[in-house]
Amino acid sequence: MKTNAWYPVRPSTRASVALAVALTVFAAGCKKKVVVPPPPPPIAAPEAPKVNQPAPSTAAVTDFTVEPSTIERGQTANLRWATTGATEVSINNGIGTVAASGARSVRPDVTTTYTLTATGPGGNATRTATVSVTAPPPPPPPAPVVRSNVGTLESRVASDLQDALFDYDSNNIRDDARAALTVDAASLQKIFADFPNASINLEGHCDERGSAEYNLGLGDRRASAVRDFLVQLGIPAAKIKTISYGKERPQCTEANESCWQKNRRGHFSANQ
């Protein structure tokens, strides 16, 4: 980045800079030494500078700063400058001619080095100032589209869909299950409207009394019966995946009819 400071400087300008530096060194040398070797004066040499009396014909940049030196893209920074002895002062990067001293705000999109050139009859002076532009941090992920009471798929499945309960060793949709599933079908339509890409697991469960092997078949039968009922009510079959758990995943583990009834069910869960 440091070398970049020179890139905006044109070759002609660079030559004049070299000259100015040489002169400055030469002038400094004169002040300290008592015995001065005779200067080669074929060309009209400038007079040795005197204290408090700078040569009016040589332009100088006394100040060129940018504050702050680092901004985020979109922010502004202030350039400030002061020059002496210049007949013209300009700043590159689209700013152009400016007053001998002044300030200006800039808003570069990328890191930019500004070069101030002070032109005087006896020589030019330049100075650079760099504004580092950093990218702003990435934005957070987009907020979910806000609809009223959408919640998550899991919470909706858990809160909006009721189990369909069954008799022992049966996959018959009872009247109470019919009522529950009719409500479930309406809820499913809303859920699928809110989550167009979602699909639902329909789990078939059994109580602990039948054999585990037979109950895998029975749970499958129950899940299919519930799915078929929902499809009749307009739910797309492709949205429902049936899984039989037999009696492997009871929600209630007591050995009484109340508990067994809870386990003889078609149950909805979100398909991850």
Q: How far is CA 271 from CA 50, 139, 176, 266, in A?
A: 88, 30, 25, 15
194 lies in the site for another protein, by CB under 8 A: no
3-class SS of residue 140: coil
> How many whole angstroms separate alpha carbon 237 and alpha carbon 254?
34
CB of 178 to another protein, least distance (A): 21
> How many whole angstroms separate alpha carbon 229 and alpha carbon 175?
12
Residue 263's contacts (CB-CB under 8 Å, 6 or more residues apart) are 205, 206, 207, 208, 247, 250, 251, 252
Q: Which is nearer to another protein, 13 or 199 (CB)?
A: 199
Q: Which is nearer to another protein, 50 or 209 (CB)?
A: 209
> How many whole angstroms separate alpha carbon 206 and alpha carbon 248?
8
Beta bridge partners of 133: 71
CB of 190 to another protein, least distance (A): 25
Of 210, 229, 230, 264, the one binding another protein (CB under 8 A) is 210
Of 241, 259, 261, 262, the one binding another protein (CB under 8 A) is 241
CB of 207 to another protein, least distance (A): 8
What is the b/e burial string over 233-242, where b = at least 16 CB atoms within 10 angstroms of the residue's CB? eebeeebbeb
Q: 32: alpha, beta or left, given left = phi > 0 and alpha = psi -120 to 50?
A: alpha
Stretch in the footprint of another protein (CB under 8 A) among 40-48, 98-106, 184-192, 218-226: 218-226
168 lies in the site for another protein, by CB under 8 A: yes
251 lies in the site for another protein, by CB under 8 A: no
Of 151, 208, 239, 269, the one binding another protein (CB under 8 A) is 208
254 lies in the site for another protein, by CB under 8 A: no
CB of 193 to another protein, least distance (A): 25
Let me know how long the chain is.
272
Stretch in the footprint of another protein (CB under 8 A) among 26-34, 99-107, 158-166, 211-219: 211-219
List residues binding another protein (CB under 8 A). 168-169, 207-214, 216-218, 220-221, 223-224, 241-244, 248-249, 255
